[in-house]
Structure 1
Amino acid sequence: MQRFSASQIYLFLVFMTSLAASTIFTTYSIYYVIELGLNPLQLVLIGTVLEITVLVFEGITGVVADTYSRRLSVIIAMFVLGSAFVLEGSIVWILHPASLLPAFGWLLISQMLYGIGWTFLSGADTAWIVDELEEEQAGRIFMRSKIFSLSASLLGIALSVGLSQVASNLPFLAGGVIYFVLGLILIRYMKETGFIRRERAPHSSAIRELGQTWVSGASILRHHPLLLLLTVVTLFSGAASEGYDRLWQVFLMNEIGFPEIGVSMAAGFGLISAATTLLGMLAVYMAGNIIDLQKERQVAAALFLLTSIRAGCIILVALAPDFYLAIGAVLLLGVVASVSEPIYTTWLNTKLPAQNRATLLSMISQSDALGQSAGGPAVGYIGSRISIRVSLLSAGFLLLPVIALYGRLLRKGSV
């Protein structure tokens, strides 16, 4: 059997998961809004259920990854995610007069499965690759993986648009199948050599062992000021992203309106995603050559600047008087997100102790889920009661505390 390096497996994992996600989410709003008839509040509530599920299960699955196996956690994630999206894509076929649940009920179940699958993957994949490599190599692999992710997104965009022209649920089914296939490949080729499983104390049960791992991680988080600050950053960032991510496509469809450009709405969203991806690839490549990820002050300054631009772009989308200005802000926002992700991931992973890395990543991810589950419904309610434009404006303002916290880090030099 051919042996692949950990770096190759990680890049393949990133490529395939990005391909699946891009296939599913490029045209998902057409399925949700046009096929299933969801309103703005329901769109955000779907995300809220997802984030509450993540909030509940992140700690459990992160502890499993730190206690037993990060490889096992990643593989479980693939099959749970595949099941979630196959179910979601099948809803339109399940519905009939005798159906036990309406479309919205089935969507909530699929989102719960999605949340559970995501928690098995979240933190475990990056903790695994950092264990397999030297820490100083982490920045390089994360920047490189972002290029792979964006490349896969381009392929996924084309696949999503093509499938949605046939039926709006097919991208969900295709994405679910990709996750299943990836899970089977990882069973065969993914190895785990850097992770050292803890020795169980005599007469210690599995539940007690999991609890000890969680308590150890919580103690580290509580006594580490920078990690606590990053948890707060994640909280507000999650609250802002939930409202924007769920509503910007609906905003373009219902409040701004697509211009007559001779292509379908699905193709229009595909073109927007493709342009964002291409620009993001260029930006990530340039950032990798400009920013030294080993210099923490440079990293903090970059995150401060990128978050400021992100907030400004969301506010600009909300205030845009026409389609083209809104699209310009959407494109810039996508580029900023592409650059920010690997920088933040590198910074965070290199500051966490290896033994508790997955648990701590899960705890910080729980903060993101808390922000999204608390901020999302508020933003969605504003959209239903006033307008989606006002919802997006409020999402932009939620990033102001994040900018202030990064600014505080830079002023104090405690990075």
Structure 2
Amino acid sequence: LDPTRLFLILRGGSAFLHTLIFTVNMVYQAETVGLSPLQLVLVGTTLEMSAFLFEAPTGILADVYSRRLSVIIGVALMGIGFVIEGSLPFFAAVLLNQVIWGLGYTFTSGASEAWLADEIGEAAAGPVFLRASQVSQVAGLLAIPLSVALATVALQLPIVLGGLLFIGLTLFLWLAMPENGFTPTPAEERSSWRQMLETARAGVQMVRTRPLLRVILAVSLVVGLYSEGYDRLWTPHLLDNFSFPLIYGLQPIVWFGVIRAGSSLFSIAATEVARRKRITESGGRLLGLMLALDGAMLLALLLLAWAGNFWVALIALWIFSTARSTLGPLDSAWIVRHTSGTARATAISFASQLNAVGQVVGGPAVGWIGTVLSLPAALTASALLMSPILPLLARGKRLEETRTESE
């Protein structure tokens, strides 16, 4: 099969199946498995730690032996993990899936992109990545109604079916995925624990000499601190503290489909507006928009925590998710503006490491607050952990403006 077409099938299929599963996955964990707020966050922490620990050893397979094989193993493991979680509604099974899924994710992380670049060339791969992003967005939207329809029959059904279809995707890849352009990565460029330590060491060295980079990396850490608690607890907060409107007899699970679809549509529109306005071309404008978006997220998070009715909570969720998804490419553009060459790769890797550390540290603390006090208190704690972003971005904006004046 043509590599470009196969890559689009892989990305679109993966997005469809992930959305099929994750539209209802948090509801399943909270309602069917009955996880407490702390357990919900520990599930995320387990996934984060698994991905972090497996990243180096699994990268060796893609670097030395075969990117194709690495992708196939990764997709298969993700499918097996979700079948286990959906079939066994126990905390231990959910944790086991996070380990298996984390392992599978690290097999696929970067390997599919590297495979495509090997097969069609780096220059030709760029436009395909953009097209794949669009295909993934459409595929994800198409999966939402199917996920909701299956969940009305049984909450675990989309999870088990999604896992089985991931295994089916594995068989398709085994039969159709070519590998003609692979060459082993040079030893000095391969993924390893030593490389990860060197990245951290180089990151620290860069931070000492670049004030703006210090701000960028501090923001990555703060994002990790607050995000895990929010990501895991907004679903049980809605289930426990709000009455869902009985419009056309819609079940609560259908509302989660509406929430996800609305978030996707608003996010696509907001990102397109930011792209057309060419916000990333000016450092001052870029930081100004990021400051406004993070401010909106902070207020929306507090509003969600203490909303008096479902509609206010829904609006808060949509504001938060739209601003957050718009920030994603802006964060990337900010790093790119202030790095180049190998320094850029080091900065991105170090920012990712700091984000993971933040999630592992902040998540369990917020989950404990949710278990001991209340879910509104836990979401408020997430907002407090997020609040340092505003002064950090304000400082970054001043540094950008000073830098522009000096030029």
Cα 1:391/1:210, change in 2 over 3 Å: closer
Match of 2:82 in 1: 85
Range 272-281 or range 293-302, more displaced: 293-302
State the structure with bigger RCO (CA 8 A, min sep 6), 1 or 2: 1
Q: Which whole-Å CA distance do the structure 1 matches of 2:213 and 2:67 have between them?
A: 22
Match of 1:53 in 2: 50
Q: Which whole-Å CA distance do the structure 1 matches of 2:113 and 2:214 have between them?
A: 20
CA contact (8 A) 2:335 2:344 kept: no
Tell me whether 1:222 sits opposite 2:204 in the alignment. Answer: yes
Q: Which whole-Å CA distance do the structure 2 matches of 1:277 and 1:200 have between them?
A: 41
Deviations 1:4-40 (A, max 9, x none): 43xx555444322221221111112332222222222
Cα 1:219/1:386, change in 2 over 3 Å: closer
CA contact (8 A) 1:142 1:345 kept: no
Q: Name the count of aligned residue pairs.
A: 393
CA contact (8 A) 2:68 2:177 kept: no
Q: Which whole-Å CA distance do the structure 1 matches of 2:45 and 2:252 have between them?
A: 26
* Greater helix content: 2
Residue correspondence of structure 1 range 174-323 to structure 2 within 5 A: 174-187=161-174, 188-189=176-177, 197-200=184-187, 210-211=192-193, 213-225=195-207, 229-261=215-247, 262-291=249-278, 293=280, 298-323=285-310
Q: TM-score, normalised on structure 1?
A: 0.81
Tell me whether 1:171 sits opposite 2:176 in the alignment. Answer: no
Cα 1:213/1:383, change in 2 over 3 Å: closer
Deviations 1:68-127 (A, max 9, x none): 6655544432122112111111114xxxxxxxxxx1112111111122222333455566
Which amino acid letter does the alignment assign opposite residue 210 of structure 1?
A: S
Q: Which whole-Å CA distance do the structure 2 matches of 1:12 and 1:347 have between them?
A: 31
Q: Which whole-Å CA distance do the structure 1 matches of 2:360 and 2:271 have between them?
A: 30
Match of 1:37 among 15, 21, 34: 34
Range 65-74 or range 363-372, more displaced: 65-74
Match of 1:161 in 2: 148
Question: Structure 2 stretches of 5 or more lacking a match?
Answer: none
Q: Which whole-Å CA distance do the structure 2 matches of 1:408 and 1:133 have between them?
A: 37
Q: Which whole-Å CA distance do the structure 2 matches of 1:363 and 1:57 have between them?
A: 17
Match of 1:366 in 2: 353
Match of 1:397 among 378, 384, 396: 384
Cα 1:76/1:59, change in 2 over 3 Å: same
Tell me whether 1:112 sits opposite 2:99 in the alignment. Answer: yes
Cα 1:280/1:12, change in 2 over 3 Å: farther
Q: Which whole-Å CA distance do the structure 2 matches of 1:349 and 1:12 have between them?
A: 29
- Cα offset, 1:402, TM superposition: 2.6
Cα 1:349/1:356, change in 2 over 3 Å: closer
Range 208-217 or range 333-342, more displaced: 208-217
Which amino acid letter does the alignment assign opposite residue 83 of structure 1?
A: I
CA-atom RMSD, angstroms?
A: 3.5
Q: Which whole-Å CA distance do the structure 1 matches of 2:97 and 2:304 have between them?
A: 30
Range 221-230 or range 16-25, more displaced: 221-230
Range 147-156 or range 286-295, more displaced: 286-295
Q: Which whole-Å CA distance do the structure 2 matches of 1:229 and 1:123 have between them?
A: 27
